[in-house]
Amino acid sequence: MFGNRFRALLFKEFRQMRHDRRIAFVAILAPFIQLCIFGFVLSANVTNLPLGILDESQTPESRELISALTQSEAFKLEGYYASPGALGRAITVGKLDAGVVIPYDYARSLYRHQVAQVQFLLNGTNANTAEIAQGYASEIISVDNLRTLHVLGAGGPVVLMPAFLNNPGLVGSWFMVCGVLGMLMILNGSMICSTMMIKERSAGTIDQLLMSPATTSEIIVAKIVPLFILLGIMATVSVGAIRLVFGVPFHGGLGLIVLGASLCVLSGIALGMFVATLAKNALQAQLAVFFLNPPLAALSGAFTPIEAMPKWLQPFTVPNPVANWAIIARGALVKGSTFDVLWPNFLALALFTAVLLTLSVIRYRKQLA
């Protein structure tokens, strides 16, 4: 068992592993990177939710309440608004996740030992985050009630009146399925495309195609179109399931969903095509896709809000196609957002697709040459 032949085989395996450094990278460094990303991103805590303020009271008491809300880690003050309509629009378009409306008689109600009602607006698109944010705000208000009673000598309690926009029933599946659909389009597109191209290369079909009168561009387009149609059917069926099975409303235009899904499918195909140009065999392609897709999913905001991620991780969500699709789907379906609100996400999705597809085509042409 431990003779010369075994030692020779063992040393051979170590030498082979040393020459192929990608194995060590996939076995050691890749899980370490994924563990760090998941540890930072997948957290049940809700922090740094953008908060808008409408202070109609303009008194020291109202400013104390605003200070109590914004000094916590749960909320981050984004600005003051002049009307309830402006505050509601900011929540609808995604600039804010929460808003506080302090009435003009807030201080007077406190000193008259009357109930002071404060309206708390929440973006109900993510039901879980909205419920947690409401709990945080209620706890902060309770602590502020004690401070008002013992420090200021005012006996009127402050009552929080929550209002959930976009998703009054707080249906949690609405938020989840929109992000999961983007993950499926990217995951399936990248895996199917890379697997088909690697198998075709291994079978020698590429050599036969090069002997045909078809040009390189025709070969590349002929490979992309069938995959796009196949994944487009998958996306159509999935969007229908979102509407019929989960009851997600279609408040926005269907054209926005079609355009966003098309770009998302193309980005998945481009990712798979790029991986196929880098990998030498099917195993390498599968390992590369496995390494790329989990971070794309974790940094997509499909399960947890992007605002709850660490500051240094949030910029990585900007070019993420899954994150941009999730914003487009939730905006167009649940919020009823229009193109003038969602155009930055369409632009980011189009740029990601164009850049990756261009690099893939360039590398594939070199390999064909």
Q: Which amino acid is at 189?
A: G
On average, the pLDDT of the chain sits at: 78
Q: How confident is the model at residue 7 (pLDDT cuts 50, 70, 90)?
A: low
The domain 49-165: what is its CATH number?
Answer: 3.40.1710.10
Query: What is the model's pLDDT at position 24?
Result: 59
* Cβ partners under 8 Å of residue 242, min gap 6: 177, 178, 181, 248, 333
* Alpha-carbon gap, residue 331 to 256, rounded angstroms: 10
Query: What is the model's pLDDT at position 21?
Result: 64
Task: Supply φ then ψ for residue 363, to 5 degrees.
Answer: -65, -40
Domain ranges of the chain: 1-41, 49-165, 171-368
348 vs 301, higher pLDDT: 348
Can you list the alpha helix ranges (DSSP code H) found in the chain? 4-19, 21-24, 30-41, 60-70, 84-92, 106-111, 127-147, 172-203, 205-210, 216-244, 254-278, 282-298, 321-329, 339-368
Q: How confident is the model at residue 39 (pLDDT cuts 50, 70, 90)?
A: low
* Alpha-carbon gap, residue 303 to 175, rounded angstroms: 8
Q: What is the pLDDT of residues 212-271, one digit of tens each?
A: 666 667 777 777 788 888 888 888 888 888 888 888 888 877 888 999 999 998 998 888
* Cβ partners under 8 Å of residue 111, min gap 6: 154, 156
- Token pair listed for 223: 């490979």
Q: What is the pLDDT of residues 304-330, one digit of tens each?
A: 777 777 778 888 888 889 889 888 988
Cβ count within 10 A of residue 247: 11
Sheet architecture: strand order including 116-123: 75-80, 49-55, 98-102, 116-123, 158-165
Q: What is the pLDDT of residues 161-172, one digit of tens each?
A: 887 777 776 676
* Alpha-carbon gap, residue 275 to 356, rounded angstroms: 10
Say whether 26 sits in a helix, a strand or coil.
helix
* Alpha-carbon gap, residue 85 to 283, rounded angstroms: 55
Q: What is the pLDDT of residues 154-196, one digit of tens each?
A: 555 777 788 777 777 667 677 778 888 888 888 888 888 887 7
Q: How confident is the model at residue 29 (pLDDT cuts 50, 70, 90)?
A: low
